[in-house]
Chains A and B, each alone.
Chain A
């Protein structure tokens, strides 16, 4: 049960660390980022000392820079200087509490040190900042599984001491060995734009469709997690996501608007959101995509076609998808702009999540379309 071979964090670590190298869209690349890019390249090549030297040069000019510090944390982790890495990631969580990644990486290091309770706390913080942060959920599930395993060992008097030590080493190698191979298009450019609302959207996308490396480790997005992370508590702990109704039957609470035209618009938007969720549930990619406006702002800033291809690929994956929502609140902004906020329940063969979603909608040719999709709070 406790196999480290697919410890999910590496995806996050690497996705963020190498987004730049892979020539992906760095939204706000620092003016002089040569040192940073060099550092990333050195890290990728396993030349840790040089990587550290370059990132230190970079940080000399921008000591507060989140991306640089995050990269330094990664380098130190790979160099085995875990205590230094912990200091860096901890400080990042203090300076950028809204970023889930430093928490996540802290958790990974704590998990390596078998400090599972600390790892759990860190992941809970990551989830508190981003309730639908899939990697954190997945890692948390892993931590729970490991805590469970410890408890079982105590219960059944098993001595797995040596086996655990080995798997710990395996995990470190894992982070190293896959360097640069998993940078995925559309990965969150969180570090380059720490405070941007774009980041959570990217995460949301991932949360919905993230490929699960280790199918036997289901993400912990089921009921108990909701109770763990106060921010996530809108999911009623006693209501398993499994019981979420399919979209057409979803309960919709439409906020009454004072605007005279509100009634019609509200009904139209409600219908549009229901249709969007229904198309998604039916894996009707064409129908699903038709709900997005031409000028839809893709979450990672990628091209519309790249985004569509990505969505197509993920939605078309085998297995049923169920998307439903409740607590819909609509805010109209004039006659053809509106914001729809709701609680989205997503369930696939491999994942269940509930998250707060915000759709910025525009009316085009009599049809309400999604212009931007965000994770709300």
Chain B
């Protein structure tokens, strides 16, 4: 009977933890959360060391008293002493099976993430280039229920920490108001809402992000109030799929994260499943786009509007202008100039996660010409069309 319990618990938890892309290689652990203790508990169960498993569960609950998953495992371990267990969360009453299923998902998500920490030589594909002042970038993997923090090390993202998160009850790829989904895309935090201004539900604070962004609006996506926020005071963590679309962290994790968040600046990239690139591949992809941006800059300086127009997609749209209007206006403006100088500085490039292959490029543009000069922060969306990077949106950032 004991074997039965063990195998159930293990099947439930470890079956999902098959070797990941990161099983080998040097992982750098932050291990600030409950995962190491949780993994320890399951190791003891695996080794049939029930007393030790219970003891470690008690330790886990001393550190995280409101950790529901920990309490569930404790219940199982205690119940296993008085009756054979057939399943995870056996002692939960009949009407609670959905909650048990949620906690099982949380266990799987936490252990999976713990066993597959990213290694130093792989980075999320989305972080092509961070701008100088962006000290950190956030990348979320909804399927893994994980949020990764990267530090900007002279342009190269360095893994700093990762945290368990919850996302939308009905998953991701938000389309419209009230669909209880989390948006997928490149966003940034727009403000900070302190605990005092919020109900207990949001825990230790909240950081709204700019959903819907230009791309979302353009595709008719709506809704609002997508935040990163904490958990109620009686809850350490919520199930992987629990929110109305927000990204929810444990309060202690949100507190740690908030130290690294720069309002209006820190990118928050939310993906279904992070694509990882080796540093070499990442470097190559980055260079190819950087050189394309530079070609665009030089072609603009050339005042040859046709050369310049090559960089724009047929589907280009900026404000209400389509490609034709945009190019014609440029042609008119260029005609009245004897020279143009364009400098781009402090470029950031973030690739959109998921199906839509575009990169959000932001930079300081220093435009000088024979009759007009201006400086601005510019944002462009580049997409790949027939193997070539093209601009599909352009405007002030």
Contact = CB atoms under 8 A, between A and B. Distances in A.
Interface of A: 1, 140-142, 144-145, 147-152, 154-158, 216-220, 222-225, 227-228, 237-238, 240, 242
A125 to B, nearest CB: 16
Nearest to A157: B68
Contacts, number: 101
B75 interface: yes
B51 A224 contact: yes
B50 A152 contact: no
Given A144-B81, A156-B100, A223 B2 contact: yes
Contacts of A157: 68, 99, 234
A240 B1 contact: yes
Contacts of B84: 218, 222
A233 to B, nearest CB: 10
A240 B4 CA distance: 11
Given A222-B2, A224-B50, A145 B78 contact: yes
B82 A141 contact: yes
Interface string B53-71: 0000000000000101111
6 pairs of A and B residues whose beta carbons are closest in the complex: A141-B82, A151-B75, A155-B72, A148-B78, A155-B71, A154-B71
A218 B82 CA distance: 5
Contacts of A141: 81-83
Given A151-B75, A152-B75, A158-B96, A220 B68 contact: no
A109 to B, nearest CB: 20
Chain B, interface SS category: helix
A148 B75 contact: yes
B180 interface: no
A289 B76 CA distance: 42
Pick the most buried of A147, A150, A237: most chain B CB atoms within 10 A of its CB.
A147
B48 interface: yes
B51 A147 contact: no
A154 B79 contact: no
Contacts of B80: 224
Contacts of A224: 2, 50-51, 80-81
B284 interface: no
A222 B103 contact: no
B99 to A, nearest CB: 5
A148 B74 contact: yes
Given A156-B68, A237-B48, 6 more contacts: A144-B79, A148-B79, A148-B91, A149-B75, A152-B71, A219-B82
A142 B83 CA distance: 10
B3 interface: yes
B96 A237 contact: no
A13 B51 CA distance: 30
Nearest to A120: B78
Interface in B78-116: 78-84, 89, 91-93, 96, 99-100, 103
A152 B72 contact: yes
A246 to B, nearest CB: 18
A161 B71 CA distance: 17
Contacts of B103: 155
Contacts of A150: 75
Given A155-B69, A156-B100, A222-B1, A228 B82 contact: no
Nearest to A228: B51
B91 A152 contact: yes
B82 A223 contact: no
Nearest to B100: A156
A3 B79 CA distance: 15
Contacts of A237: 48-51
Contacts of B76: 148
Given A141-B81, A151-B74, A156-B99, A242 B1 contact: yes
B50 A227 contact: yes
Pick the most buried of B68, B77, B82, B91: most chain A CB atoms within 10 A of its CB.
B82
Contacts of A148: 74-79, 82, 91
A157 B2 CA distance: 27
A84 B1 CA distance: 42
B91 A1 contact: yes
